[in-house]
A = this chain, B = another copy of it.
């Protein structure tokens, strides 16, 4: 018997979402993002930095002539586009799109070297450099994204061509990296392939892929440090000048992963690795590895995470720093890092059967991840600050990485396609299942066909969450079946009540789930809870937030924008004794609950003489503050934005 149990998601093509909150974003995937990103990877977006990524593949395939352009991981733009396409096809068939994707896959196949290797940078530009710079070369990272895309495409279409291409590459990688003397004892500078190899194993059943993932995880951080040794070899060529003084903690290779106790280094690298660790803990029943995951998760969410689910607080190196170091204006909080956080949290929720993880996953999805993309689906945030003064976001300074408006595309374009694939695969977050139970994690209106062990259940969820706290769940069994249906009671829910077929039942949640065991045939659950807007404070050790509050409603973090509140948002105090007022604005951002608060603003009175410092007493003026969901800031006239407001004590 297994000690570490695991749950699985429902297949994406068994879930049809039609949700008041998410629908407009999901619709963009097919209508805007996938076509836009297709244009982007084909360099057809005017004014955007050219990606050149499709052209690189065409050149490598012998279908075009020219030179490689872009960075070492440019291929991942194509991989992530394909993965988004795959998820989109899972939910909404589209023969034309599928034909385009098939063509791209054909090009990738032709760009594959006879030994299975795929990477247009090293094939076209640095053929002698293959595997010589694992620290920076991103070959294994790129391979991982292609593998994830291949798995998703196989699951969506049943077509094996891409999967076979990537199995050939995986076979070559398994031969190349491993413990034997004739193998390289290295591991990726940017983790990603580990979780991809687990997926490849899960769809193909080929166990060596799983073992290779474990090899990469277990060898990581062994002494002497691989990356520091690698750079001493003759002919080693530095790719990124900023890595001249490479610190192994940057890539979580300062210690074996089982000995790591804090979320350190580059945030995306970290969370992608943690995902693989969680997967391997389940596959190998590895309690020690699971304990590491719990430790790292706890450090991350209890000491190093923004209230928006953002992680990685240093603008330099996109990395974690130290406990409680969460600057709001010059942070990084990369969109991709929050995607990784959500992926890791989802795995932990399934391994630990604990909705507390979902609280964090939901926080990341509704705030930083959604913030990553404009309402029109055409521009993107890479960096997600909690406080923005557009005037300060000046190139060549400490604020140069912060953009006050979403950008069309990026030279390093990991985030836009990563958001696309996340939206396209949102269904995976909604349910978890094992042979006996179905878990409803998120309150998103949908219809799903759920296989729970030997039972087939049709589930219909209807809600106006996160604006309202009523969730109707209709369960229809093909044949009456005794199963557990577990519904998450989120940490912010107040006065939660549950009715089964109109009858109130006592609600006792365990690890955040209320579990209902019964014979299901044609039943209705009604969960109601209240989600009034609320003031939230940070642990007083978070120096940047001391004396400040933030407004939340359910999982939504709210922010002030200059458009609604004038400039100098830092001069505002919010009166936390006055009630928060909420109303729904159907025209704003496609329909949204806005929140009003009472406050005070430091006046400029007395400062008319241009003095910078003076003994003037502060003059305060009463104001009404209007807050909108953080995820939607920057969709109107550009201006200041603020999440953490000063509290009038």
Chain B residues whose C-beta falls within 8 Å of the C-beta of A392 in the assembled complex: 321-322, 325
Complex CA–CA separation, A329 to B547 (angstroms): 17
Instruction: Check A316 against B397 for contact (C-beta < 8 Å).
Output: yes
A395, A397, A569, A649 — most chain B CB neighbours (10 Å): A397
Most buried by B among A247, A540, A541: A540
- Can you report 28 residue pairs joining A to B where beta carbons are below 8 Å apart? A247-B395, A247-B396, A305-B612, A314-B394, A314-B396, A316-B316, A316-B398, A317-B396, A319-B397, A321-B392, A321-B394, A325-B389, A325-B391, A327-B398, A536-B613, A537-B614, A538-B612, A541-B604, A543-B568, A543-B569, A546-B568, A546-B570, A546-B602, A546-B646, A547-B602, A547-B646, A573-B649, A620-B649
Q: Which of B247, B301, B615 contacts A535 (CB 8 A)?
A: B615
Asked if A175 is an interface residue, CB under 8 A from chain B, the answer is no
* Given A302-B611, A303-B612, A546-B571, residue A396 in contact with residue B319 (CB < 8 A): yes
Which chain B residues border A396 with CB–CB below 8 Å? 245, 247, 250, 314, 316-317, 319
Chain B residues with CB below 8 A from A247, complex form: 395-396
- Interface band, chain A: 35 or more
Residue A241 lies at the interface, judged by CB distance under 8 Å to chain B: yes
Give the Cβ gap from A356 to chain B, nearest Cβ, in Å. Answer: 11
Contacts of A319 in B (CB 8 A): 396-397
Taking Cβ atoms with an 8 Å cutoff, the residues of A that contact B are 241, 245, 247, 250, 298, 301-303, 305, 307, 314-317, 319, 321-323, 325, 327, 329-330, 389, 391-392, 394-400, 534-544, 546-547, 550, 568-571, 573, 600, 602-604, 607, 610-616, 618, 620, 646-649
CB-CB nearest in chain B for A610: B302
Give the 8 A-B CB pairs with smallest separation, nearest first: A314-B397, A543-B570, A241-B241, A315-B398, A546-B570, A546-B571, A316-B398, A314-B398
User: Is B649's CB under 8 angstroms from A648's CB?
Assistant: yes
Contacts of A394 in B (CB 8 A): 314, 321-322
- Provide the bound-state CA to CA distance between A302 and B609, in Å: 10
- Taking a contact as CB atoms under 8 Å apart, the answer to whether A317 and B397 are in contact is yes
Complex interface: chain B residues within 8 A of A391 (CB): 322-323, 325
A607 CB contacts on chain B under 8 angstroms: 539-541
Q: Is the CB of B568 within 8 A of A613?
A: no
The residue from B397, B399, B537, B573 contacting A547, defined by CB atoms under 8 A apart: B573
Contacts of A612 in B (CB 8 A): 301-303, 305, 307, 538-539, 542
A71 → chain B, closest Cβ, in Å?
A: 15
A314-B397, A537-B616, A541-B607 known; 5 new pairs, CB 8 Å cut-off, are A241-B241, A317-B397, A536-B613, A539-B604, A540-B607
Q: Which residues on the B side are within 8 Å of A395 (C-beta)?
A: 245, 247
Contact B325 A327 (CB under 8 A): no
* Closest B residue, CB atoms, query A326: B612
A317 contacts across to B, CB distance below 8 A: 396-397
CA distance A395 to B569 in the complex (A): 32
> Is there an interface contact between A540 and B571, defined as CB atoms closer than 8 Å?
yes
Chain B contacts for A611, CB-based, 8 A: 302, 539
Q: Is A330 a contact of B649 with CB atoms below 8 Å?
A: no
Partner of A618, one of B571, B614, B647: B647
- A539 close to B613 (CB less than 8 A): yes
Most B C-beta atoms less than 10 A away, residue of A396, A535, A571, A604: A396
Q: How far is the CB of A396 from chain B (nearest CB, A)?
A: 5
B residues in contact with A603, CB < 8 Å: 540
A542 contact set on B, CB distance < 8 A: 612
Distance between Cα atoms of A391 and B618 in the complex (Å) = 33
Q: Which partner residue on chain B sits nearest A320 by CB separation?
A: B397
Residues of B within 8 A of A648 (CB): 649
CA distance A607 to B544 in the complex (A): 17
- Give the distance in Å from the alpha carbon of A305 to the alpha carbon of B612 in the complex: 8
CA distance A607 to B610 in the complex (A): 43
A615 to B535 alpha-carbon distance, docked (Å): 6
Taking the nearest CB of chain B, how far is it from the CB of A307, in angstroms? 5
Q: Knowing A241-B241, A397-B317, A398-B330, say if A538 contacts B613 (CB, 8 Å).
A: yes
Q: Would you call A307 and B547 a contact (CB within 8 A)?
A: no
Distance between Cα atoms of A542 and B570 in the complex (Å):
9
Give the distance to chain B from A391, nearest Cβ to Cβ, in Å: 5
**Closest CB in chain B relative to A341 CB, distance in Å:** 13
A537 to B604, CA, bound (A): 12
Chain B residues, Cβ within 8 Å of A610? 298, 302
**A247: min CB distance to chain B, Å:** 5
Contacts of A537 in B (CB 8 A): 613-616, 618
Q: Which residues of B contact A330 (CB under 8 A)?
A: 327, 330, 398
Contact of B536 with A615 in the complex, beta carbons under 8 Å: yes
* Residues in B neighbouring A534, C-beta threshold 8 A: 615
Using Cβ atoms and an 8 Å threshold, which residues of chain B touch A541? 568, 604, 607
The interface residues of chain B lying within 8 Å CB-to-CB of A398 are 314-316, 321, 327, 330, 398
How far apart sit A603 and B568, CA to CA, in the bound complex (Å)?
Answer: 28
Closest to A393 in B: B322
Given the complex of chains A and B, what is the CA–CA distance between A77 and B542 in angstroms? 41
Contacts of A573 in B (CB 8 A): 547, 649
Bound: A610/B301 CA distance, A:
10
Which of A535, A544, A547, A568 has the most chain B CB atoms closer than 10 A to its own CB? A547
For A245, the chain B residues whose CB sits under 8 A away are 395-396
Nearest B residue to A307 via CB reads B613
Task: List residues of chain B with CB within 8 A of the CB of A649.
Answer: 573, 600, 618, 620, 648-649
Contact B602 A540 (CB under 8 A): yes
